[in-house]
């Protein structure tokens, strides 16, 4: 079994023992390690294939699933959502990879399948409608947030029978508003996409630079999509503030590991 310290549970508004939700932790030891240490399952940011496979296998053992039941997309900061159903599960590896290319959110009605996204400062969103048995995960960097990937994900869940009024959401480890300094051109994109700039943008009294609250921006998009605000949980864990626990692209550069945030119905 994986040491308990390698994964950290993510809580929702209510308790539901039939669904596991978690982020992986870097689990760095005192002697540190490289930018992919210790635990990374993302295979497109430059890590060694043998290390990635060892970490994936460790995770599958901990979750009690076969390797083919761990599903993650090849993210490109899009707002595209894929549905992981029995047809998808029947595909071979090449066909699956093709289907997952350029996808940034996954929705599934299947039990025993862990769907997750890889992030290092970007926002991982976890969603579930327990009554409908529908779960989802989305990667929302600032571009995906502006493109309302949160809304697209809720819509895909609805196609499978979920009700927005029942959907619970959790916003996983990602960059905090104090760490997320941006240029004014980014603020302009949020304004153009009709986000409430007054609520999500703050200016540093020291530098005058804009800081965006991606947690609040995604919570806003979710409530617009019909998810009750009281069912949205912000974990308030910052990836950049906690380098021993999470990967942070702002600290390590993009050639680094990723924190894997996932959800699975038992």
Chain residues binding Zn ion by CB under 5 A are: 176, 179, 238, 240-241
Minimum distance between the CB of residue 212 and Zn ion, rounded to whole angstroms? Answer: 12
Which is closer to Zn ion, CB of 160 or CB of 234? 234
Nearer to Zn ion, 130 or 241 (CB): 241
User: Is cis: bond before 229, omega within 30 of 0?
Assistant: no
Q: What are phi and psi of 205, to 5 degrees?
A: -70, -25
CB 242 to Zn ion: min, Å = 8
φ, ψ dihedrals at 87, nearest 5°: -60, -45
CA distance linking residue 63 with residue 266, whole number of Å: 9
Contact 237, 248 (CB under 8 A): no
Q: For the chain, how big is the Rg over CA atoms in Å?
A: 18
Angle between helices 149-159 and 214-224 (to 10 degrees): 40
> Measured from the CB atom, is 243 or 253 closer to Zn ion?
243
Smallest gap from residue 33 Cβ to Zn ion (A): 22
Identify which of residues 153 and 256 has a Cβ nearer to Zn ion in the complex: 256
Nearest to 36 by CA among 262, 240, 253, 258: 258
Which of 51, 211 has the CB closer to Zn ion? 211
Q: Alpha helices of the chain — where are they, by DSSP H?
A: 49-63, 86-89, 93-100, 142-146, 149-159, 184-192, 197-200, 214-224, 249-252
- Minimum Å gap between C-beta 235 and Zn ion is 13
Neighbours of 8 (CB within 10 A): 19
- Write down the least CB distance from residue 248 to Zn ion, Å: 9
Shortest Å, Cβ 184 to Zn ion? 21
Which residue, 55 or 238, has its beta carbon nearer to Zn ion? 238
């Amino acid at each position: 079994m994986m040491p308990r310290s390698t994964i950290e549970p993510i809580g929702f508004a209510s308790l539901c023992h039939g669904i596991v939700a978690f982020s992986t932790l870097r689990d760095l030891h005192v002697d540190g390690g490289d930018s992919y240490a210790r635990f990374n399952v993302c295979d497109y940011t430059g890590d060694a294939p043998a290390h990635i496979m060892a970490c994936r296998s460790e995770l599958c053992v901990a979750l009690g699933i076969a390797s083919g039941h761990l599903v993650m997309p090849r993210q490109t900061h899009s707002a595209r959502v894929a549905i992981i159903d029995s047809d998808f599960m029947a595909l071979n590896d090449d066909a699956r990879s093709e289907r997952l290319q350029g996808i940034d959110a996954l929705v599934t009605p299947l039990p025993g399948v862990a769907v997750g996204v890889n992030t290092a400062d970007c926002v991982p969103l976890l969603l579930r409608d327990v009554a409908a048995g529908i779960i989802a995960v989305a990667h929302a960097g600032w571009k995906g947030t502006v493109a309302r990937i949160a809304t697209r994900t809720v819509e895909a869940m609805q196609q499978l029978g979920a009700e927005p009024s029942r959907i619970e959401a959790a916003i996983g480890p990602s960059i905090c508003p104090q760490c997320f300094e941006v240029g004014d051109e980014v603020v302009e994109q949020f304004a153009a996409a009709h986000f409430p700039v007054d609520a999500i943008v703050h200016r540093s009294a020291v530098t005058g630079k804009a800081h965006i609250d991606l947690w609040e921006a995604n919570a806003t998009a979710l409530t617009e999509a019909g998810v009750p605000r009281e069912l949205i949980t912000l974990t308030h864990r910052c990836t950049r503030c906690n380098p021993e626990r999470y990967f942070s692209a702002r600290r390590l550069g993009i050639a680094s590991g990723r924190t894997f945030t996932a959800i699975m119905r038992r």
